[in-house]
Chain A
Amino acid sequence: MNKIEVRNFSFFYGDFRALKNLNLPIRKNKITALIGPSGCGKSTFLRSLNRMNDTISGTRAEGEMLMDGKNIYDPDVDVVELRQRVGMVFQRPNPFPQSIFDNVAFGPRVLSTASNGDLDQIVQESLERAALWNDVKHRLTDSAFALNPGQQQRLCIARAIAVKPEVILMDEPASALDPVATLKIEELMRVLAVDYTIVVVTHNMQQAARVSHFTGFFWLGELVEFGVTSDLFSNPQKELTESYITGRRG
């Protein structure tokens, strides 16, 4: 089942067309990986899915992104509500300069989705889901910066989960982490995919091959190839895809 259906989607920075007529499905409760060289548009595409690109002036979108059948670029869509449904985890761990608890509680607090008693519950659940609860349960009031980078990134995942999103976007979530922390994040992604739809941008092809169910290959703003991950890596249909994933191009 498709959570999001992208149809003839193009995106412009001023006159520059960063995304060219994209068509692809994002499957519900699966991990979709987007690969491609720097500047190919995969991050732009990711940020189109929660309309974070709207905050850059001079940008424009064409075409449709249907989430549960509703185009998120329709004029009557509440962007703030959309971003609650489509959460995001960034490349660098970027906790707020606040306590561990306050970081996770920020979303529920601004959305006022929880009374104070429930807030403790939500924070605990979110940290448990991000596989961080046992590391931090005795020091929730410590600064988030007391955590190591891998823990900080899991804290950011907990923070995103706390607002109960349906889709989680991840922009190279492990590229600033060491190999052990990276594997933990990947493990976590597999567990989260049971409940969430995940879209991950990555430079690391092994990572895409390891964690994702579907992979899309971007090149110069176009989607060159999209398919089941194992097929795309073992039997790419396009020559460009093959030369990129084998490292001859990129």
Chain B
Amino acid sequence: MTRQQSHKLAKMLITVISALVVVPIVFVILFVFYHGVSALSWEFLTAPPTNGMTEGGIGPALLGTVILTFLTAIVAMPFGVAAAIYLAEYAGDNRLTRWVRLAIVNLAGIPSVVYGLFGLGVFVLFFGFGTSIIAGGLTLGIMTLPVVISTSEEAILSVPQHFRTVSLSLGATQWQTIRHQVLPHALPGILTGVILGLGRAAGETAPILFTVAAFYLPELPKSIFDQTMALPYHLYVIATQVPGMPLEIQYGTALVLLLIVLSLTLVATPVRTSMRRRREW
């Protein structure tokens, strides 16, 4: 085989393998869509489950997941962005910052069920929140932190250094420099990280299992100290714990969850590209 032939062969193989990566993703989406789309209706999205969950809709679970995702953002965003600013702008290279960085890397690698148990131990029992939205939101928030921190730090570091130099040379303080010349330009990257993190949090079952999710709770929560149903856990329940469950409802529920996560990812992409297009350096 000549060099040119082996080049062509390698290129072809790599292209085919890359294309194959797409297949399972597309297959899963189409499969769930095909089986679940007939269940979708306004009624299905808003009504509570009835008759031992074999009829009715997923309203309380859907609302619960929306609330939990919102709470996750409230927890993960300020802490994550603040930590990223510290690491990117203020922290030098010393023992403390090495520990902080190591902790973040390790946080990202912890299995989600461990976060669930941590949430149970700390928020449910130690702080006495009980199984509640606040306990679940905090748990999901902490789980999402590493993603938010590392993507935000990367976004902040990608802002050209001379913006900072010029700003400081004009008599701005370091905080004014960060606030006016760094964060605005880092924002697209930060938002992308937050949204992708939320997408993951919205679909997680293990962290909410012990901290917030109710097996069956037809009423809507009245405060953040109440329990709530949530889509991932609801899906687990109706897929494994309820005998005689209609397939249509199972796939319909899976489809809604999939759509939530996908739409978060799909929102993140245009947000980033439209903000990128506006930048000129």
Give the interface of A toward B (CB within 8 A). 50, 52, 55, 57, 80-81, 83-84, 87-88, 90, 92, 94, 96-97, 106-107, 110-111, 143, 145, 156, 159-160, 163
Q: A57-B92, A145-B280 are in contact. Are A87 and B169 (CB under 8 A)?
A: yes
20 contacts between A and B (CB under 8 A): A52-B169, A55-B165, A57-B92, A80-B173, A83-B169, A83-B170, A83-B171, A84-B171, A90-B162, A90-B166, A94-B162, A96-B166, A106-B172, A107-B170, A107-B172, A110-B171, A110-B172, A143-B280, A160-B169, A163-B171
A164 to chain B, nearest CB (A): 10
- A50 — which chain B residues lie within 8 A by C-beta? 169
B281 to chain A, nearest CB (A): 6
B47 to chain A, nearest CB (A): 50
From A107, which residue of chain B is reached at the shortest CB distance? B170
**Main SS of the interface on chain A?**
helix
Q: How far is the CA of A90 from the CA of B281 in the complex (A)?
A: 16
18 more A-B residue pairs beyond the given contacts A52-B169, A88-B169, A96-B163, with a C-beta to C-beta distance below 8 A:
A50-B169, A52-B168, A80-B171, A81-B171, A83-B170, A83-B171, A84-B171, A90-B162, A90-B165, A90-B166, A94-B166, A97-B185, A106-B170, A107-B170, A107-B172, A156-B166, A159-B166, A159-B170
Q: How far is the CA of A167 from the CA of B181 in the complex (A)?
A: 24
- A106 — which chain B residues lie within 8 A by C-beta? 167, 170, 172, 180
- A88 — which chain B residues lie within 8 A by C-beta? 166, 169
Q: How far is the CA of A107 from the CA of B176 in the complex (A)?
A: 10
B279 interfacial contact with A, CB 8 Å? yes
Q: Which 8 A-B pairs have the closest CB atoms?
A: A84-B171, A88-B169, A107-B170, A110-B172, A110-B176, A83-B171, A97-B280, A145-B280
Which of B169, B173, B181, B280 counts the most A-chain CB atoms under 10 A from its CB?
B169
**Cβ B170 vs Cβ A84 within 8 A:** yes
**Cβ A160 vs Cβ B165 within 8 A:** no
**Cβ B280 vs Cβ A111 within 8 A:** no
How many residues from B make CB contacts under 8 Å with A? Answer: 19
A100 to chain B, nearest CB (A): 13
- B181 — which chain A residues lie within 8 A by C-beta? 96
- B281 — which chain A residues lie within 8 A by C-beta? 97
B70 to chain A, nearest CB (A): 32
**Cβ A83 vs Cβ B162 within 8 A:** no
Q: How many A-B residue pairs have CB under 8 A?
A: 59
- B166 — which chain A residues lie within 8 A by C-beta? 88, 90, 94, 96, 156, 159
- A52 — which chain B residues lie within 8 A by C-beta? 165, 168-169
**Cβ B170 vs Cβ A97 within 8 A:** no
**Cβ B185 vs Cβ A110 within 8 A:** no
B115 to chain A, nearest CB (A): 36
Q: How far is the CA of A110 from the CA of B280 in the complex (A)?
A: 23
Q: Which of A83, A97, A159 sits near B168, CB closer than 8 Å?
A: A83
Within 8 A of A (CB), among B257-281: 279-281
B182 to chain A, nearest CB (A): 11
- A87 — which chain B residues lie within 8 A by C-beta? 169-170
Q: A97-B185, A145-B280 are in contact. Are A110 and B168 (CB under 8 A)?
A: no
From B166, which residue of chain A is reached at the shortest CB distance? A94
Q: How far is the CA of A88 from the CA of B162 in the complex (A)?
A: 12
Q: A106-B180, A145-B280 are in contact. Are A55 and B168 (CB under 8 A)?
A: yes
B7 to chain A, nearest CB (A): 40
From B179, which residue of chain A is reached at the shortest CB distance? A110
From B171, which residue of chain A is reached at the shortest CB distance? A84
Binary CB contact string for chain B from 130 to 158 against chain A (1 if under 8 A, 0 otherwise): 00000000000000000000000000000
- A107 — which chain B residues lie within 8 A by C-beta? 170-172
Binary CB contact string for chain B from 162 to 198 against chain A (1 if under 8 A, 0 otherwise): 1101111111110010001100010000000000000
From B173, which residue of chain A is reached at the shortest CB distance? A80
Q: How far is the CA of A105 from the CA of B183 in the complex (A)?
A: 18
From B181, which residue of chain A is reached at the shortest CB distance? A96
A170 to chain B, nearest CB (A): 12
- A145 — which chain B residues lie within 8 A by C-beta? 280
- A96 — which chain B residues lie within 8 A by C-beta? 163, 166, 181
From A86, which residue of chain B is reached at the shortest CB distance? B169
Q: A90-B162, A97-B185 are in contact. Are A160 and B170 (CB under 8 A)?
A: yes
Q: How far is the CA of A244 from the CA of B168 in the complex (A)?
A: 34
- A84 — which chain B residues lie within 8 A by C-beta? 170-171
Q: How far is the CA of A174 from the CA of B281 in the complex (A)?
A: 20
From A160, which residue of chain B is reached at the shortest CB distance? B170
Q: How far is the CA of A88 from the CA of B166 in the complex (A)?
A: 8
